[in-house]
Amino acid sequence: MCTTATSQGVVMVARMFEERACRGRVVALDGVTDPGNVGTIIRTAAWFGCTDLVLSDGCVDIYNPKVVRASAGALAALNIVRRASIAEFLDAHPHLQPVIAVAHDGVAPASIEPPENWCLVVGSEAHGVSAELLRRPAVNVTIPGLVSAVESLNAAVAASIILYALNAQT
């Protein structure tokens, strides 16, 4: 039942989450497979008042023990939505302005002027967001690095910085 050497001594029984209608502060994960990243993004999204989490096919299962542990209980604070693709989700929710985390050629997080209803899209560390999403009209955001010794940030850290920026501007 426990996948770690030392458990926290807590047991929980819960129902599977039922999908509700999405509102206006959404985080969408495009193929993010690392359970620690997904759990941390869930926790951070809940901290910053996001309402919904969308997962594309290829994302790690949100009931993975590492996701649940990394989310630190925040999993229940978000409406969880699964779609074949983030593009499909955005097509069904035209009121949401995509804000896409990209490795290069985006605006700095501090310069974001957040729309009223936004959807932060974060891709996998290995592949980023899909080419289909990059062709859409969106606010592309790049976190500028200060030292060239590190190639990139992980998906959870990048999402956290951008979520802070989206909330600092509102």
**Better pLDDT: 7 or 93:** 93
Q: Does the pLDDT at position 20 exceed 90?
A: no
Domain-embedded: residue 12 = no
In this prediction the pTM is 0.88
Domain-embedded: residue 5 = no
d(CA 119, CA 136): 13
Token representation of residue 66: 């590492």
How open is the CA angle 115-21-135, to the nearest 5 degrees?
50
Beta pairing class for 79-83 and 139-141: unpaired
For residues 164 and 109, the answer to whether their CB atoms sit within 8 Å is: yes
Domain-embedded: residue 19 = no
Residue 47's domain comprises: 25-143+150-168
Q: Does the pLDDT at position 7 exceed 50?
A: yes
For residue 160, the tally of other CB atoms under 10 A from its CB is: 19
Give which of 75, 67, 86, 83 is closest to 138, Cα–Cα: 86
For residues 31 and 58, the answer to whether their CB atoms sit within 8 Å is: yes
> Given this model, what pLDDT does residue 162 score?
98
Token representation of residue 36: 């620690």
* Sequence-distant (≥ 6) Cβ neighbours of residue 52 within 8 angstroms: 22, 23, 25, 26, 27, 78, 79, 80, 81
17 — pLDDT class (breaks 50, 70, 90) = low
- Counted residue by residue, the chain has a size of 170
Q: Does the pLDDT at position 153 exceed 60?
A: yes
How many structural domains does the chain have? 1
Domain-embedded: residue 124 = yes
For residues 36 and 3, the answer to whether their CB atoms sit within 8 Å is: no
d(CA 163, CA 125): 17
Q: What is the rounded average pLDDT for all residues in the chain?
A: 90
